[in-house]
Copies of this chain bind each other. A is one copy, B any other.
């Protein structure tokens, strides 16, 4: 786990978990298989609990500072709902603003202010490394909710958790990552987590948007089985999961290149006809054109169920770092 700059003391009678309680969640790199299984087990319990009764009082009396320097309705709402369903309270900050006399302050100072009010801080910031900078000064746990093109660990965790819940397993799964694999921290983080399970990766993208060499190096180093493809049809018949990302026109230097590939990674009902009847389609959302809404009614369309999985994973992390799970 990440550098424990401190963290609170365990409440009376509560066991103190050395792997999570009082720790920061900054990067997927801090998790090993045992950690991931622990998070997923707690997240599954949260899913069951929400389905049965909606909320618990596990974090009653705890206050979360949800500090978003960069607006993100989806992620901010997910953390707010997670904290509320655990019985805790939230200070929701969508934009950091001071009164007219001030000229702003450093991220470090702002984090120190907010942790004075709260028991833990969720941080979204546009700059790479912001979460680590915050953690370096914080006495309370920091959860990274995305720092620029850097890390967004809860997204990667929820992606894996969705596969586990939908397919009932992670080992033995064949996972296609489809679309723009060059940009997008989401697919990079997810690919890197594959090393902890027997997950075979099928990397499907136009050549100009292929998975970066450094990620491929990490996969090799981690012993991950993977193959690269230009054509979705090469893997459509065999994979269990289609993880679809957006191919954005502005990523192409030459518009002609975009025109040549733009339809190649769009999921339609016709594509799904050639896909495993027991597979699932995932997407980090928001989608634009890359999945036809006509697919939404297909039971394999898991991308909206994936959203709820994000809430359960965040509930698990909140409970774990507070030493209550």
Q: Which residues of B contact A84 (CB under 8 A)?
A: 63, 89, 91
A12-37 near B? 1/0 per residue, CB < 8 Å: 00000000000000000000000000
Say yes or no: is A259 at the interface (Cβ < 8 Å to chain B). Answer: no
Number of copies: 3
Q: Are B288 and A81 in contact (CB under 8 A)?
A: no
Is A114 an interface position by the 8 A CB rule?
yes
The size bracket of the interface on A is 35 or more
Residues of B within 8 A of A114 (CB): 77
Give residues of chain A (94-125) contacting chain B, Cβ–Cβ below 8 Å: 94-105, 108-110, 112-114, 116-119, 124
**How near does chain B come to A112, taking the closest CB pair, in angstroms?**
5
Whether the Cβ atoms of A98 and B71 lie closer than 8 Å is: yes
> Mask for A113-148, Cβ within 8 A of B = 1, else 0?
110111100001010000000000000000000100
Q: Within 8 Å of chain B (Cβ to Cβ): is A48? A: no
B81, A118: Cβ atoms under 8 Å?
Answer: yes
- A114 vs B80: C-alpha distance when bound (angstroms): 11
Contact (A63, B89) CB under 8 Å given A97-B71, A102-B286: no
Which chain A residues (43-91) contact chain B, with CB distance < 8 Å?
A: 53-55, 60-63, 65, 70-75, 77-78, 80-81, 84-85, 89, 91
Known: A109-B287, A304-B113. A81 touches B63 (CB 8 A): yes
A97 to chain B, nearest CB (A): 4
Q: How far is the CA of A35 from the CA of B69 in the complex (A)?
A: 39
Q: Specify the chain B residue showing the minimal Cβ separation from A109.
A: B286
**A279-315 Cβ-contact flags toward B at 8 Å (1 or 0):** 0000001111000010000000000110110010000
User: Which chain B positions have C-beta within 8 A of A108?
Assistant: 293
A112 to B93, CA, bound (A): 23
* 4 closest Cβ pairs, A-B complex: A105-B286, A71-B97, A81-B117, A55-B61
21 contacts between A and B (CB under 8 A): A55-B60, A65-B77, A70-B100, A71-B98, A71-B99, A73-B93, A73-B95, A80-B117, A81-B91, A81-B118, A94-B97, A100-B126, A102-B286, A103-B288, A105-B287, A108-B293, A109-B285, A113-B285, A116-B307, A116-B311, A117-B308
